[in-house]
Amino acid sequence: MPEVLPAAVLEVACLVKRYPTGDLALRDVNLRIGRGEVVALIGPSGAGKSTLIRCVNRLVQPTSGSVRLDGAEVTGLGSTALRRERRRMGMIFQEYALIERLTVMENALSGRLGYTGFWRSWFRRFPQADVAEAFALLDRVGLKEMANKRADALSGGQRQRVGIVRALMQRPELLLVDEPTASLDPKTSRQIMRLILELCTERGLAAIINIHDVALARQFAQRIVGLRAGAIVFDGPPDSLDAAALTAIYGDEDWSATLGQGRKATDEEEEHHSTVPDVERLAGLA
Amino acid sequence: MSANTEARTQDVVWRRRTPMGDLLAWGAWLAIVLATVLSFRQISDATIWDFVWDAPQQGADLLSRAVPPRWSYASVLWKPLWDTVNMATLGTLLAVILGIPVAVLAARNTTPSVLLVRPLALFVIVASRSINSLIWALVLVVIIGPGPLAGTLAIALRSVGFIGKLLYEAIEEIDPVQVEAVEATGATRAQVLSWGILPQVAPAIAGIGVFRWDINIREATVLGLVGAGGIGLQLEGSVATLAWPQVSVILLLILATVVVSEWVSARVRKAIT
């Protein structure tokens, strides 16, 4: 065991991903995440944030490098062993990725598929303990009454809560969270981020959260990692994310509004931008 | 300045096509007209026009012999009509059961191998679709003998391709992220199919099945012509013996059945979303 530092739940080393089109999405990424550590991954669109977390649970096959979950290598695993490792990594998606035509309860229980045989899952005969846990988690996120509603009948914020429940049903050690708030309004975004953070703390869960919203990342994460063109260009606590760092990640821009006016002002500005309908904004310009 | 711009704007000529394009368009129209005239001459040469001028009288004559329909004959028809509906229904059911795996093997996003299995599945679909169910029935009557079993299998063999094709297109259009989400939980391939893909295409399966059933009711009515069971046998017998009042009863019954099946399939398709 070459590890010097103890208790790393995830270790990514020299990770490279080149797509068949020739695009180099990740070039030599090294990342170490401690148990219970919540990391926000920021960076411009196309920087490789999504590719990075998909390489961890191998929804995307990395080209080279190593991904270790709790010290165990994930990259070379065959399909059975890979499924076993995937159960330990819960994933939360941007567009919720619920199975729209199934009920909230079925979506929650789908987090247990990796632990359940085919015919049991076909006839929806999950162990009573799983059903009880699903009810408890749905209750925790305020959706107990919705258990028998179809997923497509829910609002965006409610759907993302179901997505969170599904990921937690796996009893994971690591959460991979891909743009959890990109489809949500500012208030719901904050509620969802707060919920994810609370649950991570309650359960000692580590998480990588891809996020576009720098203000949200600064507000909620303990550590921020900046990705640009497939390489890590910033890694540090939220306070050290200054204008120079943002320029290194995103390129030249006047960052004073994002950083200088403090959190409250930033939030208000966000809110204004996203909640005013386009028509009104255009009218304001005219 | 602005007047100047306006004047220049008025000078600009816009045409839909280039002069060459205009010429080609006119040429195409000319070719169509010429082809129509020539074709009509050929048809005309091959037609005995005395018979055609005679057609209204012949038609009226046939109609007068066919009415009134001999309603008493209907009592003999219930059993073959029931057979016809059963052939269509069982054949469709069989085709759905066979068509689902074929579609899964043919769809780009679910096939185990794009190079080997997919072309094979596509070949099954094309082969099934290219042969009319009447011809399937002809062949099957020779192989397994006359009767409704041959008709049922003929319907099923013809429908597998139809259902397989529409269903694999539906599978290729599903939301891939829902599938990813199921994969990410550590589900097996079979669970990914049954949880990630099946719920998304379930309405398509029901819709395609009912649509094909509706078509099959109509196709099953003629299979009896070649001895594959159903009401077609009575139709053929009545035409052969020039029993026109019986023919009219059969045609009216078929019409009524098709109307009912159309109504049922419309209701089912409306109910699924």
- Per-residue H/E/C for A109-123: HHHHHHHCCHHHHHC
- Using the Cβ of B199 and the Cβ atoms of chain A, whether some distance falls under 8 Å is answered with yes
**What is the rounded end-to-end Cα distance, in angstroms, of chain A?**
65
B191 domain-assigned: yes
pTM attached to this predicted model:
0.80
Cβ-contact A89, A174 below 8 angstroms:
yes
Q: Would you state the pLDDT for residue B273?
A: 65
Taking every pair of Cα atoms in chain A, the longest distance, rounded to a whole number of angstroms, is 65
Chain B nearest-CA distance from A251, in A, is 31
Q: Is residue B34 part of a domain?
A: no
Measured between alpha carbons, how far is A160 from A95 in angstroms, rounded to an integer?
Answer: 8
pLDDT of residue A260: 58
Hey, what amino acid is at B136?
W
Encode chain A (286 residues) as per-residue pLDDT tens digits.
Answer: 444 555 689 999 999 999 999 889 999 999 999 998 999 999 998 899 999 999 999 999 999 999 999 888 999 899 999 999 999 999 999 989 999 999 999 999 999 999 999 999 999 999 999 999 999 999 999 999 999 999 999 999 999 999 999 999 999 999 999 999 888 898 999 999 999 999 999 999 999 999 988 989 999 999 999 999 999 999 999 989 888 889 889 988 888 877 755 444 444 444 444 444 444 444 444 3
Residue B25 lies in a domain: no
Q: Inspect the interface and report whether the beta carbons of B181 and A121 lie closer than 8 Å.
A: no
Q: Does residue B7 form part of some domain? A: no
**Nearest CA to CA, how far is A263 from chain B (Å)?**
34
A to B CB pairs, distance under 8 Å: 79
Q: Is residue B43 part of a domain?
A: no
Segments forming the whole domain that contains residue B84: 77-271
Tell me if B195 sits within 8 A of A97, measured CB to CB.
no
Interface test with A, best of B114, B182, B185, B194 (most A CBs within 10 A): B185
What angle is formed at CA B160 by the lines to CA B143 and CA B199, rounded to 5 degrees?
150
How far CA A154 is from CA of A43, A124, A148, A254, in Å, comes to 30, 22, 11, 39
- Region of residue A177 (phi > 0: left; psi between -120 and 50: alpha; otherwise: beta): beta
Q: How many domains does chain B have?
A: 1
Residue B50 within any structural domain of the chain: no
Tokens of B48: 């005995």
Question: In chain A, where are the structural domains located?
Answer: 1-88+175-182+206-286, 92-171
Residue B22 lies in a domain: no
- CA B38 to the chain's CA centroid: 32
B194 touches chain A (CB under 8 A): yes
B109/A contact by beta carbon, under 8 A: no
- The CATH number of residue B218's host domain is 1.10.3720.10
Q: What is the token pair recorded at B14?
A: 């816009």
Measured distance CA(B244)–CA(B174) in Å, rounded: 52
Task: Give the three-state DSSP class for A172.
Answer: coil
| Overall fold of domain A1-88+175-182+206-286 | Rossmann fold (3.40.50)
Instruction: Answer whether residue B165 is part of any domain.
Output: yes
